[in-house]
Amino acid sequence: MGWLFAFCSVLLVSAAQLLLKWAMVQLPPLGQTGLFVDTLFTLSWPVLALSGGLVAYGVSMLCWVLALQRLPLSQAYPLLSLSYLLVWLGALWLPGLNEPFLWGKLAGALLILGGLLLIFSPGKNSRR
């Protein structure tokens, strides 16, 4: 059950990042405080995305705490790096985020994935 909570946390925190980014691109700049605050009191897609992102963060934190109760930190913590991959892929794929594909970012994503494979691959003498 710990793995389920950990993966839910990663998925939710990734969704939260993407929702918050999309919302902040759509909303008025924070420098225009009055307009920004007024917009927060409207029922619009950006406000819903902002609210959804904040809720997703909260639920993600709850899932993370539940995962930490059930998994060793040495197994749970590396899973958080999956969110870097998911957010990067989501930012490339989702319209409105305007993230460019760069080969250096792909190399970084592959390094993260390789690191996860190293951490979770059983060694010769491991007793998993």
Predicted confidence (pLDDT) per residue in 87-104, tens digit: 999 999 999 898 999 999
What is the pLDDT at residue 128?
Answer: 52
Question: In total, how many domains does the chain have?
Answer: 1
In a domain, 49, yes or no: yes
Q: Give me 77's structure tokens.
A: 């913590």
Which range of residues forms the domain containing residue 52?
A: 2-120
In a domain, 125, yes or no: no
What is the pLDDT at residue 98?
Answer: 84
> Along the 128 residues of the chain, how does pLDDT read in single tens digits?
999 999 999 999 999 999 999 999 999 998 999 999 999 999 999 999 999 999 999 999 999 999 999 999 999 999 999 999 999 999 999 998 989 999 999 999 999 999 999 999 987 665 55
In a domain, 12, yes or no: yes
In a domain, 126, yes or no: no
In a domain, 46, yes or no: yes
Q: What is the pTM of this model?
A: 0.90
What is the pLDDT at residue 125?
Answer: 64
